[in-house]
Amino acid sequence: MCEGGVGGEAGGMNTSATHTDAHPSPNYSPNPTQGSTRGQGSNPAPRLAIQAIGLRKTYGKGDAQVRPLDDLSLDVGAERFTAIMGPSGSGKSTLLNMLAGLDTPDSGEVYIGSTAISRLSDRKLTALRRDRIGFVFQSFNLVPAMNAEENILLPSQLSGQKPDRRVFDRMVDLLGLRGRLKHRPHELSGGQQQRVAVARALVSQPDVLVADEPTGNLDSNAGEEVLNILRASVDELGQTVVMVTHDPRAAARADRVVLLADGRLAGELTQPNPESVAAALMNVTASPGNAGNTAAQSHGGAR
């Protein structure tokens, strides 16, 4: 099914792919500072959407024990696009689940704004995920029996809140979905289904949008459209986006790329482009142990 260009349908949102061209000289640091900046320094720190401090997580026992997160700390700036990358088993999906309140660390803390997640009851944690975090997954997670409009409004209905139709109309128009609202998921292309999922995540105006491999099930054109929308949501709507991806081209759309290895920060890129991201990922994949140790030394030196 032909989707039509997002830029042509969307009207007000500029979804042209210009972000990486504006930064021809990427900045790569193999020594990211992990330490908490809470209460440190004389200069005002950038406003943070999320702060993770000393996260540890272990699964299994004995020889089968796996530690996907090993004393990992990370600051996520508000109104910024942060991509998380790393080799298979590096801990990136576990970290994303922690940042979104979908999983809990064995030790350490995650703050959403000023709210410490570990101190919340199950009821309050559910409310936080519903009201303050938007989710976009690789598998769309649309309800087959509902049309696009019903899927977009589902979170509001579940929370018992009356949807803001002005916000709904704005998101629908920005994402080019006006002519697809009465279509059920099986009547939409993959790119259109993912746009419905993005609209569902954005319509509640969350503090943070987390995206787990959002282009993984899409062809290159549809994937590019979704990345354009995520980029534009940051630039034009002031949204905070945190995305896990394995694709250097997708990661290059972010303001910052964080690299993980062995459950630790192994490096980061600012002003990324696809080539610099691919090279940095190759370096981390080739020597994850050394990268993890380097990050740990930086953490110690930053205190």
Q: Is the pLDDT of residue 143 over 80?
A: yes
pLDDT of residue 285: 86
Mean pLDDT comparison of 15-19, 31-35, 145-149, highest-scoring range: 145-149
Q: Is the pLDDT of residue 223 over 50?
A: yes
pLDDT of residue 94: 95
8 burial class (0-12, 13-18, 19+ CB within 10 angstroms)? Answer: exposed
Q: Please give the angle made by the CA atoms of 232, 236 and 240, to the nearest 5 degrees.
A: 75
Amino acid found at 236: E
Q: Is the pLDDT of residue 75 over 60?
A: yes
CA–CA separation, 64 and 77 (whole Å): 36
Quickly state the pLDDT bin for 28 (edges 50, 70, 90).
low
CA–CA separation, 280 and 290 (whole Å): 13
Q: Is the pLDDT of residue 27 over 80?
A: no
pLDDT of residue 12: 54
184 burial class (0-12, 13-18, 19+ CB within 10 angstroms)? Answer: middle
Quickly state the pLDDT bin for 138 (edges 50, 70, 90).
confident
Higher pLDDT, 233 or 294: 233
| Fold category of 32-38+46-301 in CATH | Rossmann fold (3.40.50)
pLDDT of residue 96: 96
CA–CA separation, 250 and 270 (whole Å): 14
Q: What is the pLDDT of residues 103-133, one digit of tens each?
A: 999 999 999 999 999 889 999 999 999 889 9
The rounded mean pLDDT for the chain is: 83
pLDDT of residue 159: 79
CA–CA separation, 225 and 214 (whole Å): 11
pLDDT of residue 298: 33
pLDDT of residue 16: 53
Tokens 């099914």 found at: 1
CA–CA separation, 69 and 71 (whole Å): 6
User: In the chain, where are the structural domains located?
Assistant: 32-38+46-301
Quickly state the pLDDT bin for 42 (edges 50, 70, 90).
very low
Q: Which secondary structure element, helix H or strand E, spans residue 155, and what is its range?
A: helix 148-159
The structure tokens listed for 182 are: 């009465």
- Going by their DSSP bridges, the two strands 48-59 and 107-112 should be labelled as antiparallel
Distances (CA, A) of 234 to 3, 7, 19, 110, 181: 23, 16, 11, 22, 24
For the chain, percent of residues with pLDDT exceeding 70? 80
CA–CA separation, 48 and 63 (whole Å): 38
Q: Is the pLDDT of residue 141 over 60?
A: yes
Q: What is the pLDDT of residues 145-194, one digit of tens each?
A: 999 999 999 988 887 788 888 889 988 988 889 999 999 999 999 999 99
Q: Is the pLDDT of residue 296 over 50?
A: no
Q: Is the pLDDT of residue 24 over 50?
A: no
Residues, the chain, total?
303
- Going by their DSSP bridges, the two strands 208-212 and 133-137 should be labelled as parallel
